Amino acid sequence: MNYKIELKKTELQPTLTMRELHPVEKLPDFFGKAYGGIMIYLQEIGKAPCGMPFAVYYNMDMQALDIEVGFTVKEKLPGKDEIIAGEISAGKYISTVYRGPYDSMEPAYGALTQWAEENGYTPSGIAYEYYLNDPDKNNGVIPITEIRFPVVKTKK
């Protein structure tokens, strides 16, 4: 499959997230807890997310994924309990849009890594996934995910 890969420059974006370690099979429970808890908190303080839900993968250890999930918000907001006030750093990112099951994204990750190598960029080792639709709410809908890697230029 061919992937359209873009180099993007992004601005700093405030976030509200939860971060935990989980084996891959426990991710659906954690996603539900985190997204639900953050939405309840946003309603309590009269705010709303300003983008699609996302996840940050700090490693790819399927037995102990270090994962942070949440939403971008318009302004820096206080955290509460397990909810962390943070940010997505400004900088250069390479991205592609993947259409298909969440457990079959590996080729898209490979395409991003290959593009970075061929174009003189080094990925940071962190991967962002932005979930552009919600197949759980619409049976038969194919998941659409934007995958982003923060990168730095290493070659001219």
For the stretch 24-44, pLDDT in tens is 999 999 999 999 999 999 999
The topology under which CATH files domain 6-153 is Multidrug-efflux Transporter 1 Regulator Bmrr; Chain A (3.20.80)
Confidence of residue 156 (pLDDT cuts 50, 70, 90): low
Query: What is the average pLDDT across 121-126?
Result: 95
Q: What is the mean pLDDT of the chain?
A: 95
Q: Do residues 147 and 109 touch, judged by C-beta distance below 8 A?
A: yes
- Please identify which residue in the block is written with the tokens 């730095």: 152
What is the pLDDT confidence band of residue 149, given thresholds at 50, 70 and 90? very high
State residue 138's pLDDT score.
74
- pLDDT bracket for residue 19 (50, 70, 90): very high
The alpha carbon of 151 is separated from its chain's Cα centroid by a whole number of angstroms, namely 15
Position 151 confidence tier, pLDDT thresholds 50, 70, 90:
very high
Percent of the chain with pLDDT over 70: 99
The long-range contacts involving 78-82, CB below 8 angstroms and separated by at least 24 positions, are 79/16, 80/41, 82/18, 82/37
Whether the CA torsion 127, 133, 134, 140 is positive or negative: it is negative
